[in-house]
Amino acid sequence: MSTAGSGRNRTVRLEAATEADLAQILLLQKRAFSGQAVIYQDPNLPSLTQTLDDLRKEFNEKAFYKVVRNGTIIASIRCSIRDKVLSIEKLFVDPDLQNRGIGTAVMGALESRYAGSVDRYVLSTGHKSARNLHLYGKLGYKETGRKRLNENCDLIVMEKSTRT
């Protein structure tokens, strides 16, 4: 099943990822998060050090989605539900295609998909990740807390109610 979402006149088809997609998702994840390593001066961010085996374990615990264009995965996001709260993790878009509304469209499609089954959405991003903070703020997410990831990075926890 796929869900369409749009942002800045960009329509995406959010499709369930399969285990066969994980190697391609991991490569894209590492490309997409390499910029974060520069921002935080940390080449050992969890998104960069994750292995294929780690990803396979995570795949068994969470829902993974992908956006495919011309046979290539260009974006991915994963999530899980607990107590009517959708935890959104690792939204990333191919670095060559960023700032074109794809991330906004992916978030819209994911929120639409789960709107009837959860009360709120929760996510986190690094405190120096200005583009991420801008995107999530634009989508109605509000800061609700902070968690220390390491000495270079605090994670800003953000939430949005499905009733807004």
**CATH number of the domain residue 89 falls in:** 3.40.630.30
How do residues 31-43 score in pLDDT, each as one tens digit? Answer: 999 988 888 888 8
| SS (HEC) of 133-152 | HHHHHHCCCEEEEEEEEECC
Sheet holding 63-69, edge to edge: 2-7, 10-16, 63-69, 72-82, 85-93, 120-126, 153-161, 142-150
Within a domain: 151: no
Question: Taking all residues of the chain, what is their mean pLDDT, rounded to a whole number?
Answer: 91
Within a domain: 154: no
Within a domain: 127: no
Within a domain: 111: yes
Domain around 17: 2-119
Within a domain: 57: yes
Within a domain: 162: no
Confidence check: pLDDT of 1 > 70: no
Residue with tokens 């001066």: 41
Which of 7-11, 27-31, 126-130, 159-163 shows the lowest per-residue confidence on average (mean pLDDT)? 7-11
Within a domain: 159: no
Phi and psi, residue 119, nearest 5°? -95, -25
pTM higher than 0.85? yes
Structural domains in the chain (count): 1
Mean pLDDT of 55-72: 97
